[in-house]
Amino acid sequence: MTALEEIKKSTKSSLEAKQHELLDLIGAGHEEDINVRDGFLDLISDALLMYKTTVAQVRVAESLDEVAALWRELHDMCSSTLYLWQGLDAIFGDGPREELFEYCKATFQKLERASAQGYEFHA
């Protein structure tokens, strides 16, 4: 396993764990908790690291199939995180959202679109 693959695997595990922690905190009614804010920041950081790692892997990929698979993997991760946001939207209802919540959601939407375009272009 290359260093990039290890970084990506570790980051993906961290991202998934932080998503579950964040859901637990919000589900317990701790929306204003400092840990929730930190959770949003961690999700953004991990997502950007996943994206940058994917870009680095794409640059050294040896085939178009490998490139398409890398973009597809990132797209799947971003899509699953957006699914999380749909659940959070349902929990919060129609009220105003914290700016960081909206920024995190927008970041995942942009990464989901970018990864979908990368996959579609190379598939």
Give the pLDDT confidence score for residue 116 in this predicted structure: 93
Tokens 């799947």, residue located: 76
Give the pLDDT confidence score for residue 94 in this predicted structure: 62
Tokens 């870009």, residue located: 55
Per-residue pLDDT tens over the stretch 64-123: 999 999 999 999 989 988 887 777 777 766 655 678 888 888 999 999 999 999 998 887
The residue-averaged pLDDT of 16-25 equals 80
Give the pLDDT confidence score for residue 82 in this predicted structure: 86
Give the pLDDT confidence score for residue 37 in this predicted structure: 81
Q: How far apart are CA 68 and CA 47, in angstroms?
A: 19
Give the pLDDT confidence score for residue 31 in this predicted structure: 62
64-92 helix and 3-27 helix, angle to the nearest 10 degrees: 10
So where are the chain's domains?
A: 3-122
Give the pLDDT confidence score for residue 17 in this predicted structure: 86
Residue 6 has pLDDT above 80, yes or no: yes
Give the pLDDT confidence score for residue 97 in this predicted structure: 65
Three-state DSSP string of the chain: CCHHHHHHHHHHHHHHHHHHHHHHHHHCCCCCCHHHHHHHHHHHHHHHHHHHHHHHHHHHCCCHHHHHHHHHHHHHHHHHHHHHHHHHHHHHCCCCCCHHHHHHHHHHHHHHHHHHHHHHHHC
Per-residue pLDDT tens over the stretch 29-79: 666 677 778 888 888 899 999 999 999 999 999 999 999 999 999 999 899
